[in-house]
Amino acid sequence: MFGWIERKIIAKAQYRHGPTYVGKYGILQNFADLVKLFSKASLDLDNADSILYGTALPILISITIFTVLLLPIFPSLQATNIGFGLLLVFVVIAFMPIMIFLSGFASGNKFADISAQRSILMLLSYEIPLMLVIAAIGLISKGYNLQNIIAMQSNAYYIVLMPIGFFIFFIAMLAEIERPPFDLMEADSELIAGWITDMSPAYYALVLFLDYSKVFMSSLLISILFLGGWLGPAPIPGVVWLIIKAIIIAVIAVIIRATTFRMRIDRILRMGWLILIPLSLINLIITYILFVG
């Protein structure tokens, strides 16, 4: 569903129509693609470590789904409401680049190898600012319980309280889920497709699914942490509010994808260490002075 929205928006930006053929307004195009990909023969790779290669991607997808389950969609709709919910979410998310690394490394392709190295380099540059922003959120809401975080935002959304934090979090999240301009791992003009170069069609279909679910997951997370989750004026139910907020975030990410050029790996590292980390430290200090001290 989100895949269709993304395709339509990018098509609009490029003066095209986008999918129109399968279903009403082409809404089933992605499902048709999946069916086609699943019906193709799979490749046997000589150089691949078959166990690692075969398991990394399914683990990656289950991580993403698991993260969505940890998020509170509605007070009564959350798999488990534990005290350190937010920290748990990020512990789980931190596994994603490592799984990409394993998958790329195991496939035995040189392009996938380069892509795997890049994923670890990226991990170094954006994981620290992400964690610092989360620490600031923890400071304001006095704990990492996700439901509590949403409840604390009933007066003012955190995007108002710490705009710098939102800015850093958004950029770092884009990098985390490999959206452009940080899509270095599957940089098509350099590395053909990076870590998915040698994937079989069925696996590639899973990668497509993974891509969309990662965007969905991260935009849900951003709207929960910064835009007040299900909070909103009464007549519309909270779930709808959350979905609307998430879709707005996702659309912004798609527009960024349609218009920016890809950054280079050393520039991303420099940006991570010289801009994002100092900024997130400043954010943390400001938050401490304003809301705690």
Q: In the complex with another protein, which residue's Cβ is closer, 15 or 234?
A: 15
To another protein, the closest distance from the beta carbon of 264 in angstroms equals 5
To another protein, the closest distance from the beta carbon of 11 in angstroms equals 9
Q: In the complex with another protein, which residue's Cβ is closer, 113 or 198?
A: 113
Identify whether the C-beta of residue 185 lies closer than 8 Å to the C-beta of residue 122: yes
Identify whether the C-beta of residue 11 lies closer than 8 Å to the C-beta of residue 18: yes
* Structure-token pair, residue 248: 């707005």
Q: Residue 71: which of 223, 231, 241, 178 has the closest Cα?
A: 223
To another protein, the closest distance from the beta carbon of 51 in angstroms equals 25
User: Mapped to the 3 state alphabet, what secondary structure does 132-158 carry?
Assistant: HHHHHHHHHHCCCCHHHHHHHCCCCCH
To another protein, the closest distance from the beta carbon of 262 in angstroms equals 3
Q: In the complex with another protein, which residue's Cβ is closer, 265 or 277?
A: 265
Q: In the complex with another protein, which residue's Cβ is closer, 10 or 61?
A: 10
To another protein, the closest distance from the beta carbon of 208 in angstroms equals 15
To another protein, the closest distance from the beta carbon of 140 in angstroms equals 31
Is the peptide bond between 181 and the residue preceding it cis, with omega within 30 degrees of 0? yes
Question: In whole angstroms, what is the distance from residue 267 CA to residue 71 CA?
Answer: 32
Q: In the complex with another protein, which residue's Cβ is closer, 13 or 244?
A: 13
Helical segments of 22-162, H only = 29-38, 50-70, 85-93, 95-106, 110-141, 146-152, 158-161
Distance in Å from the first CA to the final CA of the chain: 46
> By the criterion CB under 8 A, which residues form the site for another protein?
10, 13-16, 110-111, 113-114, 180-181, 183-184, 187-192, 257-267
Q: In the complex with another protein, which residue's Cβ is closer, 39 or 260?
A: 260
- With H, G, I as helix, E, B as strand and everything else as coil, classify residue 245: helix
